[in-house]
Amino acid sequence: MSFDPTDPLGLDDLLEPEDLAVRDTVRSWAADRVLPNVAEWYETGELPGIRELARELGAIGALGMSLSGYGCAGAGAVQYGLACLELEAADSGIRSLVSVQGSLAMYAIHRFGSEAQKQEWLPRMAAGEVIGCFGLTEPDHGSDPASMRTYAERDGGDWVLNGRKMWITNGSVAGVAVVWARTDDGIRGFVVPTDSPGFAAPEIKHKWSLRASVTSELVMDDVRLPADAVLPEVTGLKGPLSCLSHARYGIVWGSMGAARTCFETAVEYARTREQFGRPIGGFQLTQAKLADMAVELHKGILLAHHLGRRMDAGRLRPEQISFGKLNNVREAIEICRTARTILGANGISLEYPVMRHATNLESVLTYEGTVEMHQLVLGKALTGLDAFR
């Protein structure tokens, strides 16, 4: 059996034919619809045609794909992970679109919503006809959601919602927002149609990361909602945090997609770029870099696969997701940075994907829990001592 430099550990042997079919479908879609355009989108800081892209993603079953019923694909965790890897191999912004739609907004409604809420929103969201967003992070409260200021109070049979959320993916193009707010009964989630009076979602400009992605602020000024807008099946932070765990799982896979693209770019460049009369891939220092990148890349994919099998078996713990998110995003950034050194000055050019992925991963490192927060989650799990406060 010959050595496959694209799969040095033989990880494809762990995948079933159905897994490979999902991977190939998403990879083909990304190659056709994202890769030819993403450098221009990134340079201009726009994601034109996002609604059309959402409908196409719905058509291939990528939206809410790990959920069952209501038009969702009901795919396994590993299949969802493979989809995230292939999407982020194209661009983190595209994977974020899918993650926020499926793992945050749709997941919250699917797990905590009423039957009426599920019937109203999930089929259209699964088809990409309605884009969703997830409002948790606030301008002054990122890693400490328990201190959120957004508040919902009862007024007769209605709720009145006031507050602001920040760094919200999909916000300006969303048709529905899942917004978390303080109430007299504790933190609750609300399903908010974005055409509600008093709701606004101005887009955040001047980003140097995730530029091929829509990022917004949510502003709620006396947004009046009916009594049945609240998610009935959860009270407290366990609601939004369980959604974040699902999204973090996708990042464990997705970050390895960005790393894979940068690694493959570096390998190809090292084979063809000549210095001192021969390809730079023939020099020991370059080979050492490539070997280290390959080791961390495929260890990360193996870790993601292991976590996926645990999720499919119903045995995946939040601490294990923190383990994967901490390791894989951190190693993905290092792989991208190392790839940049192999490409030299060309590494900063948008003719190559390396710097785009590296800057995107700076955001991925921060959202859904910073490095420090995941270190503390693991520290608490290892010692039994809470160092958060």
d(CA 187, CA 180): 7
pTM: 0.95
**pLDDT attached to residue 257:** 98
Token representation of residue 237 = 């932070």
Q: Does 86 participate in catalysis according to the annotation?
A: no
Residues of the chain where predicted confidence (pLDDT) is lower than 50? none
For the chain, what percentages of helix, strand and coil (3-state, to nearest 5) are there?
55, 15, 30
CA 261 – CA 98 distance, rounded (Å): 19
pLDDT in tens, 86-96: 999 999 999 99
At residue 118, the pLDDT reads 98
What pLDDT is recorded for position 146?
84
Supply the pLDDT for residue 141. 81
Sign of the Cα pseudo-torsion (108, 109, 115, 119, in order)? negative
pLDDT for residue 143: 80
Question: How far apart, in whole angstroms, are the C-alpha atoms of residue 18 and residue 373?
Answer: 35
Q: Output the pLDDT for position 388.
A: 84
- Report which of 103, 142, 140 is spatially closest to residue 373, judged by C-alpha positions: 142
28, containing H or E segment: helix 17-33
Question: 103 with 250: CB under 8 angstroms?
Answer: yes
> Which residue is associated with the tokens 């020991």?
284
Take residue 374 and report the two structure tokens written for it.
Answer: 């995941």
pLDDT on residue 276: 95
Catalytic residue from among 86, 120, 331, 368: 368
Count of helix runs (H) and strand runs (E) in the chain: 12, 9
